[in-house]
Amino acid sequence: MRKGIPEKTVQRLLLYYRYLFFLLQQGAKNISSKSLADLLEIKDSQVRKDLSYFGQLGKRGSGYDVLALRDKIANILGIDKETNVCIVGMGNLGSALAAYKGFLALGFRIIAVFDNSKQKFGHKIKGYQCYDINQISKIIEENDIKIAILTVPAEAAQETAIKLEKAGIKAILNFTPVKLSLSKRTKISNVDLALELKTLSFFMGK
């Protein structure tokens, strides 16, 4: 992330990119900050503030050129450059993530998947070669993999995360319920699906 740019701004940029991508498919040419804000249910002043970090991107009176803005955001976020990713833990969740087609649209290419089951070694899962988890260091180095998606059982999470960091992984998307303890050089983002579902259930009054 560029120095001085808030993480929340980066997250909104990803949402802007997604909406602009769909707008282009619908044939849209221009969009105002208010229209873009309405799609995200935020203030149009927030849109202008987010985009102001990167210079003058729109024109007063005509808004933003959808194609130009999409390409600019793609360049800012590095979506126009592919980042190699691996998935560690090929159970139901890992397999489902491997089948997800949205990663490539945002510049993420799954290069390898790993598991500790001998029954899976050497076989393709959702089109990807499955490697022994003990080969992590070798495969990550050979393929310049920067990000790992962690979907192993909770009891194996910390040990596996340490292996990933030692292998050179720079960031981990953690789908386990374990709070990982690694050095500051490794960025960790936690996704707790069960917690999110329970939160939704609470607000439903269940």
Class of CATH domain 83-196: alpha beta
Give the span between the Cα atoms of 22 and 142, in whole angstroms: 35
Q: Which residues of 13-25 are buried (b: 16+ CB within 10 A; e: fewer)?
A: beebbbbbbebee
Give the span between the Cα atoms of 126 and 89, in whole angstroms: 13
Q: What is the mean pLDDT of residues 71-99?
A: 90
Whether 61 shows a pLDDT value over 60: the answer reads no
| Residue ranges per structural domain of the chain | 7-77, 83-196
Give the span between the Cα atoms of 88 and 132, in whole angstroms: 10
pLDDT at 24: 87
CB 190 within 8 A of CB 172: no
Could you please state the CATH topology (level 3) that the domain comprising 7-77 is classified under: Arc Repressor Mutant, subunit A (1.10.10)
162 contact partners, CB below 8 Å, separation of at least 6: 182
3-state SS class at 19: helix
Give the span between the Cα atoms of 135 and 115, in whole angstroms: 10
Q: What is the mean pLDDT of residues 117-143?
A: 92
pLDDT at 57: 65
Whether 195 shows a pLDDT value over 90: the answer reads no
Give the span between the Cα atoms of 206 and 204, in whole angstroms: 6
pTM of the predicted model, to two decimals? Answer: 0.75
CB 136 within 8 A of CB 152: no
Give the span between the Cα atoms of 107 and 136, in whole angstroms: 22
CATH topology agreement for domains 7-77 and 83-196: no
Residue 11: other Cβ atoms inside 10 A: 10
Q: What is the mean pLDDT of residues 60-66?
A: 74
pLDDT at 1: 45
Instruction: Identify the weakest region by mean pLDDT among 4-13, 46-55, 59-68, 98-107.
Output: 59-68
